[in-house]
Structure 1
Amino acid sequence: MSARTPEERIPSQWEEITAADPGHSMWYVERFRAMEAQGKDIVGEARLVDAMLGRGGRILDAGCGLGRLGGYLHDAGHVVVGVDVDPVLIHVAEEDHPGPTWLVGDLAELDLPARGVEADFEVIVCAGNVMTFLAPSTRESVLAGFAAHLAPTGRVVVGFGADRGYEFSQFLADAQASGLTADLLFSTWDLRPFTEDSDFLVAVFSRAH
């Protein structure tokens, strides 16, 4: 996947938010630090991923943010690579969760082999409403990048909420067009069934063959 030049590159909605408010990234970090200090569960998504593979699994945390999921999964014994477009969040991940490979990068131009990282992940997790912070025109490119970075029997897990500008039906159609097959749909990270009235979607995909 060839990278666009800086002039051609389409910024994500997250980048537009942080450009307008340079303090937003650290506000986001402190929000999760406060939740953790209050004893709230901030790694439920990671527990689901941990249950999907044995020790030493290769995991891509796509849109890893401050490393809350990738850090947990590394401590659980997995090999973790985290990618996020926000250098502030990647710096926090490196400071708070040493061990995984943390990379600044645009998911719409994902090409980890070009950066010396093997593209054979057993699980790719994309949590935290990351899909809804992408530039809409790049969504299929991101999903196709996930498919290209999967091991042959690997799986992609994506979760995001409704009413955030990306209809679930369109997302599932985009995923299918990008080479992914939807295997399981849930309404929560603790695996409650997905229905037409669900206000959250957790989708598990495999690579189409």
Structure 2
Amino acid sequence: MSEHRTAAGNPTRWATDTGPDHSQWYVDRFRQLAAEGADLAGEARLLDTLVPPRSRILDAGCGTGRVGAELAARGHTVVGVDADPVLIEAARADHPGPRWLVADLAELDLAAAGHPEPFDAAVLAGNVMAFVAAGTERAVLGRVAAQLRPDGVVAVGFGTERGYPLVDFDADAAGAGLLLEHRFATWDLRPWRADADFAVSILRRPA
């Protein structure tokens, strides 16, 4: 796997914290899970309840495209973005339909990439916030928020023990101009508790 870097030269933690074969292992793992009939659509089901039919949705840190593909199957227009070209290649191969782009979320500018229309929602699943380049978390949330229409919603899920404290996430989200509306312990809406090892936060860009 190549070292994915921001414009400032910071490697993502996806590059620094995993081995050289991790991306292909990840692709193979989710292809196997799909072949076995595993339920891989939980994040998409939740986001689908938060938006009107035929919404425009940004799958930020889309990985192999499983979430964006499910949202597209539900009738939404999806653009997926990931810094890892191996994962984007897999998304394009396995899930034609959505637009899959290689880009770092900390410098995201979809208007410049040919997608000027704002999005109704964004989703950051699969521990995306724990894998962006250290120190870029607020920039990532800010760039995602900038792609949304006013009153657009963002769903973010990550493990609370992955080196990015939830208190820091809340400060970064507020600094990016996003308001916290709800928090759950799982994507299937188990109630939030302070000792939960996972957090799903529903944020909104003010109208």
Name structure 2 gaps, 5 residues minimum: none
1:197 equivalent in alignment to 2:195: yes
Which sits farther off after the overlay, 112-121 or 133-142?
Answer: 112-121
Matches of 2:187 and 2:84 in 1, distance apart?
25
Query: What is aligned with 1:40?
Result: 38
Query: What is aligned with 1:58?
Result: 56
- Please tell me whether the aligned partners of residues 185 and 201 of structure 1 are also in contact (alpha carbons under 8 angstroms): yes
What TM-score results when the alignment is normalised by the length of structure 1? 0.92
Paired residue type of 1:25: S
Q: How does 1:120-131 map to 2 (within 5 A)?
A: 120-131=118-129
- Please tell me whether the aligned partners of residues 13 and 133 of structure 1 are also in contact (alpha carbons under 8 angstroms): yes
Q: Secondary structure at the match of 2:126?
A: coil
- Please tell me whether the aligned partners of residues 150 and 206 of structure 2 are also in contact (alpha carbons under 8 angstroms): no
Identity %, equivalent residues: 52
Paired residue type of 1:164: R
Name structure 1 gaps, 5 residues minimum: none
Per the TM alignment, residue 38 of structure 1 is displaced from its structure 2 partner at its CA by 2.2
Paired residue type of 1:9: G
Matches of 2:139 and 2:90 in 1, distance apart?
27
Query: What is aligned with 1:80?
Result: 78
Listed one character per residue, the Cα deviations across residues 122-181 of structure 1 (whole Å, up to 9, x for unaligned) are 110000001000122111100111111111121010000121000111111110011110
Q: Which runs of 4+ in 1 moved over 6 A?
A: none
Matches of 1:194 and 1:106 in 2, distance apart?
30
Query: What is aligned with 2:95?
Result: 97
Q: Secondary structure at the match of 1:51?
A: helix
Quickly say closer, same or farther: Cα 1:169–1:103, change in 2 above 3 A. same
1:27 equivalent in alignment to 2:25: yes
Q: How does 1:92-171 map to 2 (within 5 A)?
A: 92-171=90-169
- Please tell me whether the aligned partners of residues 61 and 82 of structure 1 are also in contact (alpha carbons under 8 angstroms): yes
Q: Secondary structure at the match of 1:112?
A: coil
1:71 equivalent in alignment to 2:69: yes
Per the TM alignment, residue 119 of structure 1 is displaced from its structure 2 partner at its CA by 4.8
Listed one character per residue, the Cα deviations across residues 43-93 of structure 1 (whole Å, up to 9, x for unaligned) are 110111112122210000000000001111111111000000000110111
Paired residue type of 1:32: F
Per the TM alignment, residue 6 of structure 1 is displaced from its structure 2 partner at its CA by 7.3
Paired residue type of 2:127: N
Matches of 1:7 and 1:42 in 2, distance apart?
33
RMSD: 1.6
Matches of 1:128 and 1:7 in 2, distance apart?
23
Query: What is aligned with 1:13?
Result: 13
Q: Secondary structure at the match of 1:205?
A: strand
Which sits farther off after the overlay, 165-174 or 30-39?
Answer: 30-39
Per the TM alignment, residue 12 of structure 1 is displaced from its structure 2 partner at its CA by 0.5
Per the TM alignment, residue 116 of structure 1 is displaced from its structure 2 partner at its CA by 1.2
Pairing partner for 1:178 from 161, 176, 179:
176
What TM-score results when the alignment is normalised by the length of structure 2? 0.93
Quickly say closer, same or farther: Cα 1:98–1:184, change in 2 above 3 A. same
Quickly say closer, same or farther: Cα 1:110–1:7, change in 2 above 3 A. closer
